[in-house]
Amino acid sequence: MSNTRVTVSVIKDRKVKGIPITMLTAYDYAMAKMLDSAQIDMILVGDSLGNVVLGYDSTLPVTMEDMIHHGKAVCRGTKNTMVVVDMPFMSYQVSVTEAVQNAGRLLKETGAQAVKVEGGVEIVEAVKAIVRAGIPVVGHLGLTPQSIHQLGGFKVQGKDEETAKKLIDDAKLLVESGVFAVVLECVPEKLAAKITQTIAVPTIGIGAGSGCDGQVLVVNDMFGMYSDFTPKFVKKFANLQAQMLTAIMEYKQEVTARTFPAKEHTFSIAEEVLDKLY
Ligand code: KIV
């Protein structure tokens, strides 16, 4: 395998060539290493970290320190994959200066190649300033979990004319502001396809149908390792939770029965050394 990191131009070129982009989330070294070896194009250190790793009921409590801690671990596990780190809630909404400083911290302290921000017209000044600072930015429209209280729950976005038009306008504005890709979450398939045809940068869909330029899923969802809530758009490519639970029960049974550890898991010591002890 080559040791060439996927770059912004590689991702943009995929749209031109019509080659689908693969993106998955990761939050630690081991998972990142696996995704990197499978040549997944982009890893998102998503603030879904808050739900699937830290046990919060939303992404709102996730901090810059959380993102940096997990971003660093993910970057240590990658050689080829592009790593994108989510900017957490309130790290880019308060002021443009703070947005640039926090985006800079995410790149400097984790080693990631890009950041992702949620929202449209409301955040374009922040996006422009981050891009001006030389930091690649991915946008995120549709169901934006950081605005969950404003959206009133996890619902499909852009179902009526007004909200569908706003999504198209926001996508165009984000592109004008310099994003190199846009995540579309929980958007009707035909609207996502229309946005994909309208804008010049790749769209990466999650619950947005097959007309997007790429797809992203939360790994814990696709592995069947997160059971608190499973959105309709998730396909479980494995059911690891059931397999892991079986392994845990077997371990418990073997430890209780003293059949684990067995001979092959233990280390020996010479009898004469033992004899000299006390
Ligand atoms: O935080 C995350 O994992 C995300 C994906 C759902 C796109 O933003």
> Which whole number is the average pLDDT over 228-250?
95
CA 170 to chain centre: 21
pLDDT computed for residue 227 by the predictor: 85
pLDDT computed for residue 2 by the predictor: 53
Q: Is the CB of 139 under 6 A from ligand 1?
A: no
Is 165 in the same domain as 29?
A: yes
> What is the 9 CA–ligand 1 centroid distance (Å)?
22
pLDDT computed for residue 171 by the predictor: 98
pLDDT computed for residue 1 by the predictor: 45
* Residue 92, φ and ψ in degrees, nearest 5: -140, 0
CA 215 to chain centre: 11
pLDDT cut 90: percent of the chain above it: 96
> What is the 129 CA–ligand 1 centroid distance (Å)?
23
**Which residue, judged by its Cα, is nearest atom 1 of ligand 1?**
46
> Which whole number is the average pLDDT over 168-197?
98
**Which residue, judged by its Cα, is nearest atom 5 of ligand 1?**
46
pLDDT score of 7 more than 50: yes
> Which whole number is the average pLDDT over 122-134?
98
CATH assignment at residue 214: 3.20.20.60
> What is the 118 CA–ligand 1 centroid distance (Å)?
10
> What is the tens place of the pLDDT at every residue in 262-271?
999 999 999 9
Give every CB contact of residue 29 below 8 A, 6+ residues apart in sequence: 73, 74, 76, 77
Catalytic residues: 185
Average pLDDT, the chain: 97
In a domain, 109, yes or no: yes
pLDDT score of 39 more than 70: yes
pLDDT score of 157 more than 70: yes
Q: Is the CB of 196 under 6 A from ligand 1?
A: no
> Which whole number is the average pLDDT over 141-152?
96
Cβ atoms of 139 and 127 closer than 8 Å: yes
In a domain, 1, yes or no: no
Return the best residue to mutate from 66, 140, 154 for the ligand 1 pocket (most ligand atoms within 8 A of CB).
140
Is 251 in the same domain as 142?
A: no
Q: Is the CB of 46 under 6 A from ligand 1?
A: yes
pLDDT score of 96 more than 80: yes
**Residue where the block lists tokens 């449209």:** 120
Return the best residue to mutate from 47, 84, 179 for the ligand 1 pocket (most ligand atoms within 8 A of CB).
47
> What is the 27 CA–ligand 1 centroid distance (Å)?
11
H or E segment and range at residue 238 = none
Is 252 in the same domain as 220?
A: no
pLDDT computed for residue 278 by the predictor: 83
Is 233 in the same domain as 105?
A: yes
**Residue where the block lists tokens 């808050």:** 50
Is 219 in the same domain as 249?
A: no
> Which whole number is the average pLDDT over 209-220?
98
> Which whole number is the average pLDDT over 190-216?
98
In a domain, 3, yes or no: no
> What is the 5 CA–ligand 1 centroid distance (Å)?
22
> What is the 260 CA–ligand 1 centroid distance (Å)?
40
Rounded CA separation 229/220 (Å): 11
In a domain, 2, yes or no: no
- Give the sign of the dihedral formed by CA 216, CA 219, CA 223, CA 227: negative
pLDDT cut 70: percent of the chain above it: 99
Indicate yes or no: pTM above 0.85.
yes
> Which whole number is the average pLDDT over 11-40?
98
| Closest atom, ligand 1, to C-alpha of 118 | 8
Is 148 in the same domain as 271?
A: no
Is 262 in the same domain as 224?
A: no
> Which whole number is the average pLDDT over 180-190?
98
* Helix, coil or strand: residue 81: coil
Q: Is the CB of 48 under 6 A from ligand 1?
A: yes
Is 202 in the same domain as 271?
A: no
Q: Is the CB of 146 under 6 A from ligand 1?
A: no
> What is the tens place of the pLDDT at every residue in 65-95?
999 999 999 999 999 999 999 999 999 999 9
Q: Which domain holds residue 200?
A: 8-238
Overall domain count for the chain: 2
